[in-house]
Each structure stands twice: as structure tokens, then as C-alpha cells.
Amino acid sequence: MITLDTYFDYVILPILSISALLVFIRLLKGPAVVDRVIALDLIITIGIGIITVYSIRMDQKVLLDVAIILALIAFLGTVAFSYYIEKQKDD
Amino acid sequence: MIEIIIGLISTIGALSILFASIGILRMPDFYLRLSVTVKASTLGVGLLLVCAAIVFPDVSVTTKAIAIFFFLLITAPIAGHMIARSAYFIGTPLWKGTIVDELAGMYNKETHELESDPDRIDPKEAIPNIASDDEKQED
């Protein structure tokens, strides 16, 4: 009998972890700085997904507040990076 | 019954995120990587949040999940557009198989204004920045 908890433990969370590892390879390799910026953005988005699954698995709905903050930080970080990358060319 | 639905939705969401990360690793070009990443990851996280909204029988969790998904749905395209625009300005090369670059020469280099009429630009500046074969193309 497969319960939902074991399914989350052995299928969903490993898939998300492998995804984060694959994006981390791109973060290390990335030829340009913009590649690294979108890799960081995707890592934070995967983090939101991991937090959501973990809050379902542990039955802790308080953890969803952290996901809100992470979504905010990801957006602000990407916008700030793009703003300053564009400014840097002007000098 | 509800467990089967939750398992199905979360599987689709996790696979969508996995495809996004495979895409960011394997695509040959910054712009292709961006176009894969933004859409697939938003869909995947949205489906996982729908799972959380179904599992917890509580109005506050549903509201929070909808708020996060709505925020991601609004901000992901804006962030993607801004980072692609600045990447085009600093001269990130396009993939070597690119056929047409409609933006070539349309942006003013000094004022960063976009010219909309293709007849008014200098044809000498309208050279797309396509990566050559010699340049190292990872993967």
C-alpha cells in the first residue's frame, strides 16, 4: 500500500532535488552573467516548489509564508540584476 | 480518490520543473534557455501549489497558495522580459542556427529607445549578433 507520504518522499522530492542540481551545473558553467542570473531565479523557484511539497508532507502550513517571501526576493533580485547589468554598459 | 488526484497533479508539476531544468542545461543559447525556463517552472510550481490548496482543508492556506501563484504568474514574465532586454543590450550572442533577428539595429545604443520603423534605421547597423561556428558552443 503506497501512501501519499511515501510517494512524496521517494518520487516528488527526489525529482525536485535532481532539478535543483541540474540548474546548479548551469549556475557554475554559465558563459555569461545573464545565464547565472536566470539560473539563480530558477533555483529559487524550485525552492518554492520544494517548500510547498515539504509543507504538505510535514503537515505544517506555516511554511507557506516562507514561499511568499522567496517569490518576492526572486523577482526583486532578477529585476535589480537586469537594471544594473544594463547600466554597466553605459559607462 | 483525492489522494490519486493529488499524486497526479504533483507528478505533473514535478516533471514540468524537471523539464525546465533539463532545458536550462541543454539549450544552446541564452534566449532559448530563458524561454524554456520561465514558462515551465511557473506551470510546475503552480501545480504544486494547487496540491497544497487541495490537501489542507483551510481557507487561509488556499488563499496563500492562490496569492503565491498569482504573484509568480504576474512577475515571472516581467523579470524574464527585463533580463532578456539587458542581455540583448550587452551583446549576448544568438544561437548559430538563428535565421532572423528582427531587433538588429532597432535599439538606439545611447538612449536605449526602440525604433519601430524598419526603413529608418541604418542598414550597416542591422547586423544580427549571431555566434559563429568557431566559438565554443557548450553542449
Percent of chain B with pLDDT over 90: 50
Residues of chain A found within 8 Å of residue B6, distances taken between Cβ atoms = 4
Mutation target vs B (from A18, A38, A63; most B CBs, 10 A cutoff)? A38
For chain B, say whether A27 makes contact (Cβ under 8 Å).
no
Q: For each successive 10 residues of chain A (91 residues), what is the average pLDDT?
A: 88 94 92 90 94 92 91 92 82 51
pLDDT at B41 over 60: yes
Measured between CA atoms, how close is A84 to chain B, in angstroms?
9
N-terminal to C-terminal alpha carbon distance within chain B:
44
Q: Which helix (H) or strand (E) holds A48?
A: helix A33-58
DSSP SS3 for A59: coil
Instruction: Please name the residue of chain A whose CA is at the shortest distance from the CA of residue B74.
Output: A75
> Which value does ipTM take for this structure?
0.91
Task: Classify B137 in phi/psi space as left (phi over 0), alpha (psi -120 to 50) or beta.
Answer: beta
- C-alpha cell read off for B109: 545604443
Count how many pairs of residues, chain A against chain B, have C-beta atoms within 8 Å: 156
DSSP for chain B reads -HHHHHHHHHHHHHHHHHHHHHHHHH-SSHHHHHHHHHHHHHHHHHHHHHHHHHHS--HHHHHHHHHHHHHHHHHHHHHHHHHHHHHHHTTPPBPTT----TTTTTB-TTT-PBP--GGGS-TTT----BPPSSS----
Average pLDDT of span B71-91:
90
Q: What are the extents of the domains in chain B?
A: 2-90, 94-139
Distance CA B138, CA B121 (A): 34
Contact list in B for residue A19 (CB cut-off 8 A) is 14, 17-18, 20-21
Closest C-alpha among A18, A35, A13, A71 to residue B51: A13
DSSP designation for A61: G
Mind listing the pLDDT tens digit for each residue in B93-132?
888 888 888 777 777 777 777 777 777 777 766 777 777 6
Grid cell locating A23: 540548474
Q: Which residues pair with B123 in a beta bridge?
A: none
The C-alpha cell 535532481 sits at: A18
Using CB atoms, which residue from A15, A56, A88 is nearest to B52?
A56
